[in-house]
Amino acid sequence: MFHFLAQIKKGRIIIIASLVLFFSLGFLYKINNPVLHTFSKVVSPVEDYKLLKLKGFISGLQAIIDSDDDKELDRLANSKEIFKVFYKIASSDSNQIEYVKSDINLSFYNTDLINVFIPDKRNPLNLEISVSSTNKDLSEKILENYLSFSIEKTKKVIKENVNTVLYEENIFYNKKIEIELYLADLNLNKVKEETKIAISIAAASGQKKAMNVINDQEMFSIALGETGLNEKLNKLNDIKNKSIFNENLSKFESVSKALTSNSMEKYNFDIIKTIKMKYKSSENKQILFFALMVIAGLFIGVFISITVFSKED
């Protein structure tokens, strides 16, 4: 034992040098790897009942229109489908870059430290979003702000998708209106021409006044008399609402008006809920590494001292 201690005493310079070397390596590691503070949230889709306003709006649209877009509207009002859109947006590099650029205070920030992933593949509807930085408060702030940024962008996409369906349906019904308006014009012009012919017939027959019994359903009826028929023609020329000559025209115009007056912009809705929030720091890891380096320096110094001075003995 005394011999062992004597060898250590002889090699104290080697031991100190080894300690200094490994201490320096640990210090360099600490400088080049600052403490990272990581905040993370595990989120999942909200319950369907929290989308009642959105579902009510969608149901209203489905009552108005009658097309294949019903399935698309159902998908847009489904919490799980909305969550998939949120995941796609939140996990995209372009969204992270856009978020960082949106805040001048984050121009220095490395977007690689924003991490979006599914922690458990067996449950793809649980999503974890984590943010790491050397500033604890900044990490927490970025996490909250990035979540809000991604949520608002998801809502914007959902609203745009619904409004796109509205726009496409409105185009569809406007085309129908054009067709039905054309048919209404044909019907109106037909009645006008029949009235003009009836006026000519009434004038030729000297039937100026209306007949006592007006129940003649003939195509060129002169029962109204020439005066009455001229008044009828004037009224026909003044007609602005041509839907009385085409029932479908009135129906399609009502649908188009309803589609135009509806918009998703005024509707707000939740899309995610927080399951749990976590925090961890790499400080303990750094302390452990630093301690291991010092211990390693001590053992290596002792080992070299014993090896060197045992040969001399």
**Structure confidence by residue, pLDDT tens digits, 112-160:** 678 887 777 777 788 899 988 888 888 888 889 899 999 999 988 888 8
Q: Is the dihedral of CA 184, 186, 187, 191 positive or negative?
A: positive
| Rounded percentage of the chain residues whose pLDDT exceeds 90 | 6
Structure tokens at 200: 């000519």
User: Which of the two residues, 121 and 46, has the higher pLDDT score?
Assistant: 46
Report, as an integer, the average pLDDT of 287-296: 77
Structure tokens at 195: 């009235």
Angle between helices 79-90 and 136-205 (to 10 degrees): 120
pTM score, whole prediction:
0.66
Looking at residue 180, its amino acid is: E
> Which residues is 41 bridged to in the sheet?
129, 277
Rounded CA separation 93/116 (Å): 10
Number of neighbours of residue 195 by Cβ within 10 angstroms: 21
User: Which of the two residues, 264 and 211, has the higher pLDDT score?
Assistant: 264
User: Which of the two residues, 4 and 238, has the higher pLDDT score?
Assistant: 238
* Predicted confidence (pLDDT) per residue in 150-208, tens digit: 999 998 888 888 888 888 888 888 888 888 888 888 888 888 888 788 778 777 777 67
What is the number of helices (H) and of strands (E) in the chain?
Answer: 10, 4
Q: Which pLDDT value is given to residue 241? A: 78
Q: Which pLDDT value is given to residue 86? A: 92
